[in-house]
Amino acid sequence: MNITAANIVSTIDHLNKNVFYNYIDSSNRNVIKIVRIERPEGPIYIKRGNFLAGDNVNNAKEVPISSNMIWRVANAIQEDVPLNIDRIVGASYNTRSVLESLLAHTPAFYITYPGRIENNISSSKIKQGHKHLIWLPSNPHDEGVITTYETSKVISEIPSQLAIYESLAITPQFANEKFPYSLEAERRHTQIQIALYLIGRQLGFRTWIAQNDKNIVYNNQKLGEMDGVIASLKHEKLLMSYQEAVQAALLIDCIWFKNGRLMPAIMEVEHSTGVISGLSRMKNFKDKFPPFPTRYVVVAPDEDRKKVLNECNKEQFRDLNPLYFPYSSVEELYSLCQRRKIKGITEEFLDCFMEKTA
């Protein structure tokens, strides 16, 4: 099972709003009051203070638990796998212990203390573990009660997923044309584009990068000059007889080709832009190319999942049978390629990282 920000918000929304909730850390004398919740994905607004000892709850500041943090935690949750929220969000959010404590009061989340592996130069030891949350939806406890779950699990504290990008130089004119709101939006869009290219290279694919992105410099080299990036679609075997399709594909963010005979995926990266534009480009290409087995994929931030699914299910795009490739899954696969140099797998392996939108 996967859990989403909407699932987290919904389960916290079921908690009684008329009571105070303790922190997991019993030494913290403050308590938490849920003020209001915006469905489906937050924010969750709370007040916190030593209300049981006389602090006036009416005078306390209302503080949001942001949708971004809720999504970051949701993306890291796996059933029956201990989760350290501090490691997931770092020092980015001052309400992380509030979210952790509220989750612990809901029936499907427990507190647990898995053993941890401590590696020294010549030996490894299992030591007493730190506090973690664990999600056990098939074994709920009473609502409103923090409950500890005894586990025999042992964890390694070495990070299992790390996506590393080299230096990235973006000419401001590109940002102004494609992303009028933010140069940082263009930077993030391009990082994901690069991750897709490097995933494709590791899996033995050649990659088309959108014509207007080829001059972006990554690791001191233009994207259009990188090994395995297709210089021109006019000479691509699959497309050379369909010039209208070639024209329709020029601005598509990323297309993977394999062995001159296959096209594993056609992808549009949607960051701070409307999903409709990318879907329309892919639809235009499909209408100008004979029926061909491929994947039409929307690549977008995790927090945009609901918007992506809504747009993909509009009548005009249903024949694309679009897939959703969230950023977290892109970087999970990219990290795996970086660390393990995977090869020899079928392209169906990609489907494990993508979600059907129908």
Q: Does residue 163 sit within a domain?
A: no
Residues 178 and 323 in one domain: yes
Residues 175 and 149 in one domain: no
Residues 180 and 142 in one domain: no
Share of the chain above pLDDT 90, in %: 55
Residues 114 and 262 in one domain: no
Specify whether the CB–CB gap between 170 and 183 falls below 8 A: yes
Q: Residue 280, class by beta-carbon neighbours within 10 Å (0-12 exposed, 13-18 middle, 19+ buried)? A: middle
Q: Cα angle at 101 between 96 and 104, to 5 degrees?
A: 130
Alpha-carbon torsion (229, 235, 238, 241), positive or negative: positive
Is 229 strand, coil or helix?
strand
**For position 232, what pLDDT does the model report?**
92
- Sheet holding 154-156: strands in order across? 124-127, 115-119, 154-156
Give the least confident one: 18-32, 115-129, 147-161, 241-255: 115-129
Q: Per the structure, how many domains does the chain have?
A: 2
Confidence of residue 181 (pLDDT cuts 50, 70, 90): very low
pLDDT higher than threshold 60 for residue 160: no
Average pLDDT of the chain, as a whole number: 87
Distance from C-alpha of 296 to C-alpha of 294, rounded to nearest angstrom: 7
Give tens-digit pLDDT for 42-59.
999 999 999 999 899 999
Any alpha helices (H) in 145-236, and if so which ranges? 172-178, 183-202
Q: What is the mean pLDDT of residues 104-123?
A: 81
Q: Does residue 134 sit within a domain?
A: yes
Q: What is the mean pLDDT of residues 167-185?
A: 53
Q: Does residue 99 sit within a domain?
A: yes
Radius of gyration of the chain (CA): 24
Last residue of some domain: 135, 156, 177?
A: 156
Specify whether the CB–CB gap between 116 and 130 falls below 8 A: yes
Residues 102 and 182 in one domain: no
pLDDT higher than threshold 60 for residue 339: yes
**For position 39, what pLDDT does the model report?**
94
pLDDT higher than threshold 70 for residue 126: no
Q: Does residue 161 sit within a domain?
A: no
Residues 211 and 139 in one domain: no
Q: Does residue 128 sit within a domain?
A: yes
Q: Residue 287, class by beta-carbon neighbours within 10 Å (0-12 exposed, 13-18 middle, 19+ buried)? A: exposed
Residues 315 and 200 in one domain: yes
Distance from C-alpha of 354 to C-alpha of 62, rounded to nearest angstrom: 38
Q: Does residue 75 sit within a domain?
A: yes
CATH number at residue 217: 3.40.91
Domain that holds residue 308: 168-356
Specify whether the CB–CB gap between 41 and 9 falls below 8 A: yes
Residues 351 and 253 in one domain: yes
Q: Does residue 135 sit within a domain?
A: yes
Residue that the structure tokens 């061909």 belong to: 292
What is the pTM (predicted TM-score) of this model? Answer: 0.66
Exposure string of 226-251, with b = 16+ CB inside 10 Å and e = fewer, is beebbeebeebebbeebeebbebbeb
pLDDT higher than threshold 80 for residue 262: yes
Q: Does residue 162 sit within a domain?
A: no
Confidence of residue 110 (pLDDT cuts 50, 70, 90): very high
Tokens of 273: 């832009």
pLDDT higher than threshold 50 for residue 243: yes
Residues 332 and 186 in one domain: yes
Give the least confident one: 77-81, 315-319, 336-340: 336-340
Angle of the 67-76 helix axis to the 96-104 helix axis, nearest 10? 60
